[in-house]
Structure 1
Amino acid sequence: MALKEESYKDKKVITIGTVSEITGLSERQIRYYEERKLIFPERTQKGTRKYSFNDIEQLMEIVEKMEEGVQTYEIRKEMLRKEKQLNEKTVREQMIRGQLNAQFGIQKPR
């Protein structure tokens, strides 16, 4: 089975200045959302933040929620809930796949 290729939307290649231009947020606002653990840029060896297109979409969702009066801790809580649901779904799918493989004698290729 081939490794799942990373989507261009997941690649962390965009600098904070460019994210600021695209979103209209100040660099300080973007750093604040990182401090609140709402976005997770990668860092280069020199400490430069790098963002993905998915990070930009996440930032825009955060801004919309903030404009609706939702607090950052509530946004984080919702993100954690969604992440937990996704993890539970993945575990269930893996268990079912394992049961089916065992039932039908399918072995993983080496």
Structure 2
Amino acid sequence: MKDEPSYKNRKVITIGVVSELTGLTERQIRYYEERKLIFPERLARGNRKYSFSDVEKLIEIANKREEGVRTYEIRQEMIKETKKENDKKARNKMLRGQINARFGIQKD
């Protein structure tokens, strides 16, 4: 059960529903995928499935675009955020390892 994604990250929503929820056209949604801003799951027949997290991200993207932010800038910001998140995870893992080593805690 732990390996299952949370309901927010499960890819179950069709592009038509995402379009209705976000107010974006299907073409706009596909464009944001082309620009590597979102990553829907692709089924065997080519259909796309989105998650609630994808819907939230699309709304954020649309708001930034309305403010005049270019898709390139949005992508660069996403890359920085992902790097920062990965660095934080690595730092936390290292600290846990150091604490475990210091107090003689063995991992099974």
TM range (shorter): over 0.9
Cα distance per residue 1:45-67 (max 9 Å; x no partner)? 11110000000000000000000
Tell me the SS of whatever aligns to 2:105: coil
In the alignment, structure 1 segments of 5+ residues that lack a partner are none
Match of 2:49, SS?
strand
Kindly indicate whether residue 87 of structure 2 is the aligned counterpart of residue 92 of structure 1: no
How far off its partner does 1:5 sit?
4.3
**Deviation sequence 1:69-94 (CA, Å, 0-9, x none):** 00000000000000000000000000
What is the match of residue 80 of structure 1?
79
TM-score (norm 2): 0.96
Q: What residue number does 2:64 align with?
A: 65
Distance in 1 (alpha carbons) for counterparts of 2:106 and 2:30: 47
Give the ranges of 4+ consecutive aligned residues of structure 1 lying more than 2 Å apart after TM superposition. Answer: 2-5
For the residue of structure 2 that corresponds to 1:47, the secondary structure is coil
In the alignment, which residue of structure 2 is the partner of 1:103? Answer: 102
- Aligned equivalent of 1:14: 13
What displacement does 1:103 show?
0.8
RMSD: 1.2
Give the structure-1-normalised TM-score.
0.94
More divergent stretch after superposition (16-25 vs 88-97): 16-25
Cα distance in 2 for residues equivalent to 1:94 and 1:3: 19
Distance 1:87 1:36 in 2: 22
User: Percent of aligned positions with the same letter in both sequences?
Assistant: 66
